[in-house]
Amino acid sequence: MLLVLQVLLSCSHVFHRNCLEAYEKFTGRKTCPMCRKNQYQTRVIHDGAQMYRARCATRIQACWKGYRVRKWYKHFRQTSPPKDPKLRKKFFEEKLSDISDRLVRCCDPDIDGLFSEIDRSIAISHNVFHQLDQKCNPEMSEADWEKIQLQAVRQEILDCPICIMPLCPNTEEHSRPSGRPAALLSCSHVFHQSCLQAFEEFALGEGLVCPLCRSPYQKKIFSY
């Protein structure tokens, strides 16, 4: 409202020009709304507009100077360590933390690629151990497997030691296949093939050993 034209009356009162014109039109006579003086003279003044512009300029300058000072002070805090030992220690801790964060942001680690490389390395190690076991332990003959099978029968193992479920189907269901082949190990222990396979996959990177006696083994798959 301070940018609206103002008029100064000869009686020293000041009004907006449009307000004074509306008042004169409403009353039908030329009288000061304040002191009721008749036949006054008017003069357009710009004191209010100048004051408003000065206040706006002052506020803009204050905001700009405040921004400059805050920016300078922030730069000063980042580049000038304090003299107090505790504050100096905190300053360098924050500096080191900021540098570490920037280094982390600059890096783009491919976590999925790293995990894939680890999985490939483990699989290669597993194959190497498996080949080594095959070289150290030559294939067993059928006669050896028959002896091991007889030894397993004497042990009367009815349940898989891993899942604690029956190795062979019930007599009532004997007419249909169980769907779970078994694995006979060279140490005469018997497991479900799927259970033993899961155990072998879990033990990647290690030599294949029996889950019960922890001895290296060869295996033979059969069905009841």
Q: Give domain status of residue 158, yes or no.
A: yes
Closest residue by Cα to residue 149 from 69, 222, 206: 222
What does the DSSP assignment read for 170-220?
-STTTTS--S--EEEETTS-EEEHHHHHHHHHHTTTS--B-TTT--B--EE
Range of the domain at 188: 137-222
Mean pLDDT of all residues in 50-63: 92
CATH, residue 161: 3.30.40.10
Tell me how far apart the alpha carbons of residues 191 and 161 are, in angstroms, rounded to a whole number.
Answer: 7
Q: Give domain status of residue 104, yes or no.
A: no
Q: Give domain status of residue 203, yes or no.
A: yes
Q: Give domain status of residue 106, yes or no.
A: no
108 has pLDDT over 70: no
Query: What per-residue confidence (pLDDT) applies to 63?
Result: 95
Q: Give domain status of residue 185, yes or no.
A: yes
CATH, residue 28: 3.30.40
142 and 211, same domain (yes or no): yes
Would you place residue 214 in the very low, low, confident or very high pLDDT band (cuts 50, 70, 90)? confident
Q: Give domain status of residue 157, yes or no.
A: yes
151-196: pLDDT as tens digits: 888 888 888 888 888 887 664 444 444 557 888 888 889 999 889 8
Mean pLDDT of all residues in 104-133: 73
**Are 7 and 14 contacting, i.e. CB atoms less than 8 angstroms apart?**
yes
Mean pLDDT of all residues in 47-69: 91
Q: How far is CA 12 from the centre of its chain?
A: 71
141-152: pLDDT as tens digits: 888 888 888 888
Residue 213: both structure tokens together? 């006696």
Query: What per-residue confidence (pLDDT) applies to 111?
Result: 67
Residue 26: both structure tokens together? 């409403």
Residue 97: both structure tokens together? 């933390």
Q: Give domain status of residue 162, yes or no.
A: yes
Final residue of a structural domain among 80, 106, 121:
80
* Largest separation between any pair of C-alpha atoms in the chain: 138
What does R_g of the chain's alpha carbons equal in angstroms? 48
Final residue of a structural domain among 80, 96, 129:
80
Final residue of a structural domain among 61, 80, 99:
80
Q: Give domain status of residue 121, yes or no.
A: no
Q: Which residue has the higher pLDDT, 142 or 1?
A: 142
- Given CA atoms 174, 180, 181, 185 in this order, what sign does their dihedral have? negative
Total number of domains constituting the chain: 2
143 and 210, same domain (yes or no): yes
| Edge-first strand listing for the sheet containing 219-222 | 190-192, 182-185, 219-222
Mean pLDDT of all residues in 119-124: 82
